[in-house]
A and B are shown apart, each in its own frame.
Chain A
Amino acid sequence: MTVDIGETIVGLEIHVQLATATKLFCGCSTDYQDDGPNTHCCPVCLGLPGALPHVNRKAVEYGLKVAKALDMRVPEESEFARKNYFYPDLAKAYQITQSDKPLAVEGTVEIEDDEGHEKIVRITRAHLEEDPGRLVHVGGGSKYSLVDYNRSGIPLLEIVTEPDMRSPQEARRFLNKLRTILEYLGVFDGEREGGLRVDANISMRGSERVEVKNISSYKGVEKALTFEVTRQRNLLRRGQKVARETRHFMEGRGITTSARSKEEAHDYRYFPDPDLGPIRVTGWLAGIDLPELPTARKNRFMAQYGISLNHARTLTGDPRLADFYEHVAHIEPVLAATWVADTLLGELNYRNMGIAAVPAEQIIELLALLRSEAITDRAGVQVLREMLDACAAGKPCEAPAAIVEREGLARVVGDDFTPIVQAVVAANPQAVEDYRAGKKGALNFLVGQVMKETRGRADPRELGRIVSEYIDTGGV
């Protein structure tokens, strides 16, 4: 018996911590990452009796900036409501959020679908709310937990999408795109742990929907959803039903587990927060200036620098990387794109370094050396690695020319190779014979041997020509 399983349908709810200096409803600083627990709290965010919330204007402005960037509509009036539930990290036993009257509604984000075509993901709404505190579960079967209220009251923008994504990969691409937009807008600190948290709704068309909560990194989303696709499809394939439920993502194990049924019986008893008046900010939209957003910048990069779609996409995927590229591009845009998007990014990932740590002036010098063919690509990589290693170790960064000089990496040209070629050919008669018999691999082997002797100072294509000419003209 074959079971007809419908397509995958995914919708996301993204919680973004807004990068304001103070919390959403009080003047406590949001910069608590390096401080001890319960050091950034006041009567308001601790929920002390009698304290009253006071909305941070910047959080509203940031919300509107996102609304404008996602082409959303800002209704005439929005309001804060109380979402009532009991949890030890929720200081007031209600979360101040927006329910019936969100800040913004009906937007769009453009992504690529799995076939590489442009597609639109619709945004349902975006609303402001406060983050709860943080619970630390003491291990070892301990009965109690520990609470830190430093996070309590951090402003969040919750962005809700329509169920428009059709695979975990699309969901990942959507999140990457959204994250990039948020970073371009300067409303979000991408480096902050837990700065972007996701709940995902996923179903197979025709079956019940499952909500996966607690995905605390955006990288976990694809993993959690891939697990769910497999789990749900397997159930359906076996003729079973998918239960409508909430599941938790266990980041460490890469699986989702069913949340207790009690949590699903939630009745949050929303009502407008009587401590806060209505918000009417539709008119503010016109005054909000947006920076050049990723799609526009990508298109400009291709037009202005003549670089490929892939390079433009990679380079504009992070505003800092794009800025870096624009700083070094004047040397030779296409060469710079290859080196920044491919080589440099790879080396940075390997070292877990950020682009901010890279000295742009040294890269400009390196690109100049490469453009003038003073060094080979391979030598260039070696110079780059030495520079990055020094940076990573916190040492002063040597100039590329100095590294070339010290390591003797200057490009060697033409006849200078003859003795080495002679020696390699003489030492590998079998390979020479194979080459003559028409085996392509034999030439590569011989070139490789010469490269090894020259320690990368020669250009492999040039060497290939020299070696084959040498053998063909009967140098032996």
Chain B
Amino acid sequence: MAGTLKFSPDDRCNAFITTCAEAPFGEGVLAGTAVAVKDNISTAGIQTTCGSKILEGYVPPYDAHVVELLRRAGAAIVGKTNMDEFGMGSTTETSAFGPTKNPVDLERVPGGSSGGSAAAVAAGLVSMALGSDTGGSIRCPAAFTGIVGLKPTYGRVSRYGLIACANSLEQIGPMARTVEDASRLMSVIAHHDPRDVTMLDRPYDHQPVAGVRGLRIGIPEEFFGEGVDPRVAEKVRDAIGVLEGLGAETVRVSIPGMQYALAAYYVICTSEASSNLARFDGVRYGPAVDTRKSWHEAYQDLRRELLGAEVRRRIMLGTFALSAGYAGDYYTKAQAARRKIQEDFERVLRETDVIAGPTMPTVAFRLGEKTDPVSMYLSDILTAPANLAGIPAISVPCGRVDGLPVGLQIMGRRFEDERVIDAAYTYEQEVRA
């Protein structure tokens, strides 16, 4: 059963940074299945760059926990997918290895930051891929390319080996063409790993079941407000209508903490990232630092040369937010805001079983359309709350606007990824039939 998978894709979308022409595989539930892995997940013996020049040529000496599990399940790891540099972006355009294009429309971005994984799945190069989601990085590209992407409950999948952008927010998750495949991949990667102490021992072992009779779906007004393309909102309402038709009950709810979500998200994310990314100094790995210069000079030159503008901007923002020298004390306030958002979601999810809304406020942008950082940040408004609350959230395709895919986002209670999967599966089965 074990063998080698030959892999030479026609990668016209630039989905991959690295491909493995001959990918070994073993026995198991994924035996011989081609799986693409986002390039911020460590793979022993395969270059892992995070889409950055500063890690070009870095070959990890160890596998991330999820990669160990993939190999154990027999999967063939066929390549490392393109991404926004260190996950900082919603378009995959900030990659140092060139942008990925959306297979649905090559003039459009695939979303990000897991744009390469999404494009590889959507283009049919692989049937499933791993992404990571800090503020929407799995769900945004899933929505933009018309595939399924799950951000698991925080603490359900080991982060060991995931090159950190924002540790307290991010999770590795499955991306696939169908809910069933996403669920299958989830059951391979969601196993307890003592090395990630933020993880709880709650393995995912589930077969999707269709049926939403009596399911209470919360519809937060904030997810259909200003900035959300009315045509996108319409598609999503239709999709929720389909679930209602199958016996689900909808409840209008409100999450007032949403007003803080983007600010809290960007403060926490940039603060943690500013600390996480400081280690790339060209000493232990990565392109070598110039040892003839003095330390600070050499280090600053290296980072100016090898980090992109968005990454440098976010490192500076995070440094500013954490610095004692400025009166804002933003990090502490952002944590308080996060607590508030968490409590809002908990309250709503006591009255309801899941929450539904659009994944993204719009359809995929044109390549080069988002030049202003703030307008890019605003596009995370509907996805970042689930990361702040630590709850599971899935994006499942629900029709098209102007020929471009729209994603239905379903969120659930912590450690109820199964319920979120089932709701998405029910919708998918119904519209496919």
Kindly state the separation between the CA atoms of A94 and B50 in the bound complex, as whole angstroms.
20
Identify which of residues 257-302 in chain A touch chain B, using a CB-to-CB cut-off of 8 Å. 267, 269-271, 274-277
Within the complex, the shortest CB–CB distance from A277 to chain B, in Å, comes to 6
Q: How large is the interface on A (under 10, 10 to 19, 20 to 34, 35 or more residues)?
A: 20 to 34
Within the complex, the shortest CB–CB distance from A234 to chain B, in Å, comes to 34
Interface 9-residue window, one of B98-106, B114-122, B189-197, B201-209 = B189-197
Kindly state the separation between the CA atoms of A49 and B56 in the bound complex, as whole angstroms.
13
Q: Interface readout for A32-50 with B: 1 if CB under 8 Å, 0 if not?
A: 0000000000010011111
A88 within 8 A of B: yes
Assess the A46–B278 pair: CB atoms within 8 A.
no
Q: Across the interface, name the chain A residue whose C-beta is closest to B194.
A: A54
Assess the B50–A49 pair: CB atoms within 8 A.
yes
Q: Across the interface, name the chain A residue whose C-beta is closest to B64.
A: A50
B133 within 8 A of A: no
Identify which of residues 114-154 in chain A touch chain B, using a CB-to-CB cut-off of 8 Å. 143-144, 147, 149
Q: A91-B284, A93-B279, A275-B197 are in contact. Are A50 and B325 (CB under 8 A)?
A: no
Residues of A within 8 A of B162 (CB): 50
A86 within 8 A of B: yes
Assess the A50–B281 pair: CB atoms within 8 A.
no
Q: A50-B164, A52-B159 are in contact. Are A84 and B279 (CB under 8 A)?
A: no
Identify which of residues 74-105 in chain B touch chain A, using a CB-to-CB cut-off of 8 Å. none
Kindly state the separation between the CA atoms of A53 and B167 in the bound complex, as whole angstroms.
12
Q: Interface readout for B254-285 with A: 1 if CB under 8 Å, 0 if not?
A: 00000000000000000110110011110111
Residues of B within 8 A of A87 (CB): 295
Residues of A within 8 A of B64 (CB): 50
Assess the B283–A88 pair: CB atoms within 8 A.
yes
Name the one of B48, B163, B167, B281 contacting A274, with C-beta atoms under 8 angstroms.
Answer: B167
Assess the A277–B281 pair: CB atoms within 8 A.
no
Residues of B within 8 A of A49 (CB): 42, 48, 50, 55, 58, 60, 163-164, 279-280, 285
Residues of B within 8 A of A270 (CB): 322
Kindly state the separation between the CA atoms of A54 and B275 in the bound complex, as whole angstroms.
18
A109 within 8 A of B: no
Residues of A within 8 A of B278 (CB): 84, 86, 92-94
Kindly state the separation between the CA atoms of A88 and B196 in the bound complex, as whole angstroms.
26
Q: A269-B322, A271-B271 are in contact. Are A52 and B279 (CB under 8 A)?
A: no
Within the complex, the shortest CB–CB distance from A278 to chain B, in Å, comes to 11
Within the complex, the shortest CB–CB distance from A392 to chain B, in Å, comes to 43
B61 within 8 A of A: yes
> Which of A48, A49, A53, A86 gathers the greatest number of chain B CB atoms within 10 Å?
A49
Residues of B within 8 A of A413 (CB): none
Residues of A within 8 A of B281 (CB): 86, 88, 93
Q: Across the interface, name the chain A residue whose C-beta is closest to B280.
A: A49
Q: A52-B160, A84-B322 are in contact. Are A274 and B295 (CB under 8 A)?
A: no
Q: A47-B284, A93-B278, A94-B278 are in contact. Are A52 and B322 (CB under 8 A)?
A: no
Q: Interface readout for A81-104 with B: 1 if CB under 8 Å, 0 if not?
A: 010101110011110000000000
Residues of B within 8 A of A143 (CB): 291-293
Within the complex, the shortest CB–CB distance from B210 to chain A, in Å, comes to 37
Q: A91-B284, A93-B281, A275-B167 are in contact. Are A52 and B195 (CB under 8 A)?
A: yes
- Report whether over half of chain A's contact residues are helix, strand or loop; otherwise say mixed: loop
A5 within 8 A of B: no
Within the complex, the shortest CB–CB distance from A291 to chain B, in Å, comes to 31
Q: Across the interface, name the chain A residue whose C-beta is closest to B283.
A: A88
B429 within 8 A of A: no
Assess the B292–A48 pair: CB atoms within 8 A.
no
Q: Across the interface, name the chain B residue whose C-beta is closest to A49.
A: B163
B427 within 8 A of A: no
B296 within 8 A of A: yes
Residues of B within 8 A of A92 (CB): 278-279
> Which of A91, A275, A276 gathers the greatest number of chain B CB atoms within 10 Å?
A275
Within the complex, the shortest CB–CB distance from A55 to chain B, in Å, comes to 7
Residues of B within 8 A of A426 (CB): none
Kindly state the separation between the CA atoms of A84 and B278 in the bound complex, as whole angstroms.
9
B4 within 8 A of A: no
Q: Across the interface, name the chain A residue whose C-beta is closest to B158.
A: A52
Assess the B61–A48 pair: CB atoms within 8 A.
yes
A309 within 8 A of B: no
Name the one of A50, A91, A274 contacting B198, with C-beta atoms under 8 angstroms.
Answer: A274
Kindly state the separation between the CA atoms of A130 and B64 in the bound complex, as whole angstroms.
24
Assess the A267–B61 pair: CB atoms within 8 A.
no
A21 within 8 A of B: no
Kindly state the separation between the CA atoms of A94 and B278 in the bound complex, as whole angstroms.
8
A51 within 8 A of B: yes
> Which of B166, B167, B279, B325 gathers the greatest number of chain A CB atoms within 10 Å?
B279
Assess the A48–B60 pair: CB atoms within 8 A.
yes
Q: Across the interface, name the chain A residue whose C-beta is closest to B289.
A: A88
Assess the B275–A84 pair: CB atoms within 8 A.
yes
Q: Across the interface, name the chain A residue whose C-beta is closest to B331.
A: A271
Assess the B284–A46 pair: CB atoms within 8 A.
yes
Residues of B within 8 A of A53 (CB): 197
Q: A52-B197, A86-B295, A88-B283 are in contact. Are A271 and B322 (CB under 8 A)?
A: yes
Residues of A within 8 A of B292 (CB): 143-144
Kindly state the separation between the CA atoms of A186 and B112 in the bound complex, as whole angstroms.
53
Assess the B160–A51 pair: CB atoms within 8 A.
yes
Kindly state the separation between the CA atoms of A198 and B274 in the bound complex, as whole angstroms.
30
Assess the B167–A269 pair: CB atoms within 8 A.
no
Identify which of residues 381-424 in chain B touch chain A, using a CB-to-CB cut-off of 8 Å. none
Kindly state the separation between the CA atoms of A200 and B158 in the bound complex, as whole angstroms.
42
Q: Interface readout for B29-71 with A: 1 if CB under 8 Å, 0 if not?
A: 0000000000011100000101000010010111010000000
Assess the B62–A48 pair: CB atoms within 8 A.
yes
B111 within 8 A of A: no
Assess the B283–A147 pair: CB atoms within 8 A.
yes
Known: A48-B285, A50-B162, A55-B197. 18 other contacts (CB 8 A): A49-B60, A49-B279, A51-B160, A86-B278, A86-B295, A86-B299, A91-B279, A92-B279, A93-B278, A93-B279, A267-B324, A267-B325, A269-B275, A269-B322, A270-B322, A271-B331, A274-B198, A274-B272
**23 A-B pairs, CB-CB below 8 angstroms?**
A48-B285, A49-B60, A50-B159, A50-B164, A52-B195, A52-B196, A53-B197, A86-B278, A92-B278, A93-B279, A143-B292, A147-B283, A269-B275, A269-B324, A271-B275, A271-B331, A274-B166, A274-B168, A274-B198, A274-B272, A275-B198, A276-B197, A277-B198
The 9 closest A-B pairs by CB, nearest first: A93-B278, A269-B322, A274-B168, A274-B167, A144-B291, A49-B163, A50-B161, A50-B42, A93-B279
Residues of A within 8 A of B (CB): 43, 46-55, 82, 84, 86-88, 91-94, 143-144, 147, 149, 267, 269-271, 274-277
